[in-house]
A and B are shown apart, each in its own frame.
Chain A
Amino acid sequence: DQQVKQNSPSLSVQEGRISILNCDYTNSMFDYFLWYKKYPAEGPTFLISISSIKDKNEDGRFTVFLNKSAKHLSLHIVPSQPGDSAVYFCAASSQGGKLIFGQGTELSVKP
């Protein structure tokens, strides 16, 4: 069963606008959530994370929102830049163990 889901395989956004990537999870035991960015032929790069005791975490242009009642998190990128074009994965863990990843969303930011 897919415990972490990213239902949008792709997203296209204009440069300077907001990119919103979504992620849903099913396991209530998850207490830590992360977003990774991945370029082809490279390993995932850590972007931002959030603990289940928070509902928002911000780092520069990146903000992650967590809605525990809906078991939903989202990553906002403002403003979007062409260099943000990559595949974005959300991941979840319980008590700091293994990560469970979604399938990824390919973001394309057009100049």
Chain B
Amino acid sequence: DTGVSQNPRHKITKRGQNVTFRCDPISEHNRLYWYRQTLGQGPEFLTYFQNEAQLEKSRLLSDRFSAERPKGSFSTLEIQRTEQGDSAMYLCASSGQGWPYEQYFGPGTRLTVT
């Protein structure tokens, strides 16, 4: 299977704890995106990488959030000092750099902060 994979699929944590999610993109894709989705809303853009360079970050990405893609392959998203408002589905997507611009999504990581 060469689709986008995300781990873990579910994470329950207590407020104030740190969590880290991993995304493995489709192997030939050099762009990797992180989105967040809450109930009843469409996915909201957080940040994206082209190879190892982080090219854009949303204002949604507070200082408690950090993302890395150290070797231009997999990426990690870390949330420090989690808050209940961080509870959401965190989605990763990947695409090639050029045409076509379709992004392919992984299954997501469901975060619940208690």
A binding-site residues for B, Cβ under 8 Å: 4, 6, 32, 34, 36, 41-46, 49, 89, 91, 93, 96-104
Contacts and interface: CB of A to CB of B under 8 A. Distances in A.
A41 B98 CA distance: 30
A100 B45 contact: yes
Nearest to B102: A46
Nearest to B40: A103
B43 A101 contact: yes
A36 B38 CA distance: 16
13 contacts: A4-B42, A43-B105, A43-B106, A45-B105, A89-B42, A91-B42, A96-B97, A96-B99, A98-B45, A98-B58, A99-B93, A102-B42, A103-B41
Nearest to A45: B105
A4 B44 CA distance: 12
A46 B40 contact: no
Nearest to B43: A101
A60 to B, nearest CB: 16
B112 to A, nearest CB: 13
Interface of B: 4, 6, 33, 35, 40-45, 48, 56, 58, 91, 93, 95, 97-108, 110
Contacts of B56: 97-98
B44 to A, nearest CB: 7
B95 A96 contact: yes
Nearest to A87: B42
A98 B107 contact: no
A103 B110 CA distance: 19
A43 B107 contact: yes
A42 B48 CA distance: 21
Nearest to A4: B42
A96 B108 contact: no
